[in-house]
Amino acid sequence: MNFMVRPSKSFLFDVLEKELKTITCGIGLDAASAHFKNRRMFKTDQYYGLDIDLKALKKAMALDKTSNTFALYADLTKLSSLPENSFDAVVSTNTLDHLTTEDKFEAVENLSRITYGKLLLELKFDQSFIPIIGLLKKYFNIVNTLYYKNFFSRAYEKIFEKDGFLGNHPIAGLKFFRLLSWLISRLEYLTCRQSSGNHAVFIVCQEKKDVLAKKSLDLSGLSLIQDKIYQLL
């Protein structure tokens, strides 16, 4: 259970955690991982955190002492150095909607290309949604959607927001209110199968088209910034 300050995020990360629990081998990629924000959810044999913020990657690597954790200093729109069909689980949360429309499509295409197993994306439910679904269906046989951030979550979040930002609100962050937020997030399960009234979408893609075998993740051609941090930029 994920007791976030936002009910919509509690729902998102509960669903994400459930999906990642089923992938217990291979290689996982946390796209735009910052400080390895989703690290604890990955059960893969290896974890790669990818981000354009080198300072955040170095800080995360200094804190994570596990031998199967690595970092990629990279831009989501420039991933040609990574082999196609080489990652068993690829995740992107709280990232794609901060890109321009052109860069968002480029990033989604890159993530689709390097995924062999399952691609998990979080997006706003806006005008770019339909074209992105079309793009994903070019790569995957199965593209499933869960809609979230319903009226109940938005109403609760609006109470604590300032200029659309909730941040480290002194009340919302208290244990009681995090529990309340999680309880409200259960209402997302009542509305997640319909797009109407929801403002965000969680996309699960699997069964890569026209792929017979997974490719090995060979990073020998990349330079190392420091131990276990590879440079793609």
Query: Using alpha carbons only, how large is the chain's radius of gyration in Å?
Result: 18
Using pLDDT thresholds of 50, 70 and 90, give the confidence band for residue 222. very high
pLDDT tens profile 113-158? 999 999 999 999 999 999 999 999 999 999 999 999 999 999 999 9
Number of Cβ within 10 Å of residue 138's Cβ equals 10
- Let me know if residue 155 belongs to a domain: no
- Let me know if residue 186 belongs to a domain: no
- Let me know if residue 120 belongs to a domain: yes
DSSP 8-state assignment for residue 39: G
pLDDT at 117: 96
| 203 Cβ contact list (under 8 Å, min separation 6) | 119, 120, 121, 122, 123, 132, 133, 136, 143, 144, 145
pLDDT at 7: 96
pLDDT at 165: 73
| Domain range enclosing 96 | 7-150+191-212+224-231
Is the pLDDT assigned to residue 167 strictly greater than 80? no
**Pairing verdict, β 140-148 and 200-208:** antiparallel
- Let me know if residue 33 belongs to a domain: yes
Is the pLDDT assigned to residue 171 strictly greater than 90? no
pLDDT at 53: 96
- Let me know if residue 121 belongs to a domain: yes
pLDDT at 178: 93
pLDDT tens profile 30-75? 999 999 999 999 999 999 999 999 999 999 999 998 999 999 999 9
**Residue 86: CATH number of its domain:** 3.40.50.150
Q: Are 16 and 92 within 8 A, CB to CB? A: no
Number of domains in the chain: 1
pLDDT tens profile 67-97? 999 999 999 999 999 999 999 999 999 999 9
Using pLDDT thresholds of 50, 70 and 90, give the confidence band for residue 162. confident
Q: What is the mean pLDDT of residues 168-191?
A: 92
- Let me know if residue 182 belongs to a domain: no
pLDDT at 175: 92
Is the pLDDT assigned to residue 233 strictly greater than 90? no
pLDDT at 161: 85
Is the pLDDT assigned to residue 164 strictly greater than 80? no
The per-residue pLDDT of the chain, averaged, comes to 94
Is the pLDDT assigned to residue 166 strictly greater than 80? no
pLDDT at 74: 96
Q: What is the mean pLDDT of residues 159-187?
A: 87
Indicate the helix (H) or strand (E) that contains 231: strand 229-231
pTM of structure: 0.92
Write out the two tokens for 105.
């499509």
